[in-house]
Amino acid sequence: MGKRGYHHGNLRQALVDAALDLIEQKGPTGFTLSEAAKLAGVTPAAVYRHFEGREDLIAEAARQGYEIFADVMQFAYDSGQPSALAAFEATGRAYIAFARKHPGHYISMFESGISVNHSPELAAVSSRARRVFERAAEDLSRHIPPQKRPPASMFSAHIWAMSHGVVELYARNSPGTQSPFPPEDLLESGIGIYLRGLGLLPPDA
């Protein structure tokens, strides 16, 4: 990013973009506000006109990440319609795609230690993303008798955890975790086993 002065029109976003670059390179605790300011082309003092500190800056990067993430999840869910199964599987694949395409945002959201309750705005958008997963689970579990049906929030949390685990171990080049199978295949087969266990897929599917 080239140096830009304080009055370039969108310093706040320039600082977020600088932070995303640094987070991707050094991790969420590996950079200082001074480094972010330098990369954005402003003085360190200018940062405090927009952010209280590094945590506040990372929280804004996380908020923007969740906005993208929620939109990606919604698009994946919609693209699978009218098949509840296709929509459900699409959200899992979209999770992997998001982590690969937006590593700085992903780290800010899931690896920075920033709580989703850091601000009302962050809490709201993270809830919107979670709701897409829950809606996909609700659609798919309608075929399960009510007395055997897991809560949609539990159902979706299991798949979120599975997706997150595959991303962390196999889709982000973690050292020492080489897999003989593509992450997408691992996730799809894992989801298949889970759904068969709930009786939503035939044993030979």
Give the span between the Cα atoms of 196 and 199, in whole angstroms: 5
**What CA–CA distance (Å, rounded) separates 124 from 70?**
11
Q: Mention the CATH class of domain 57-197.
A: mainly alpha
pLDDT by residue for the chain (205 residues), tens only, comes to: 444 344 455 889 999 999 999 999 999 999 999 999 999 998 888 888 899 999 999 999 999 999 999 999 999 999 988 888 888 888 888 999 999 999 999 999 999 999 999 999 999 999 999 998 888 888 888 878 888 788 888 888 888 899 898 888 888 765 556 677 888 888 888 888 888 887 776 555 5
Q: 5 exposed, middle or buried (CB, 10 Å; 0-12, 13-18, 19+)?
A: exposed
Measuring CA to CA, which residue among 74, 77, 92, 72 is closest to residue 194? 92
Domain boundary assignment for the chain: 1-51, 57-197
Residue 24: closest CA among 97, 109, 129, 115: 109
State the architecture of 1-51 in CATH terms. Answer: Orthogonal Bundle (1.10)
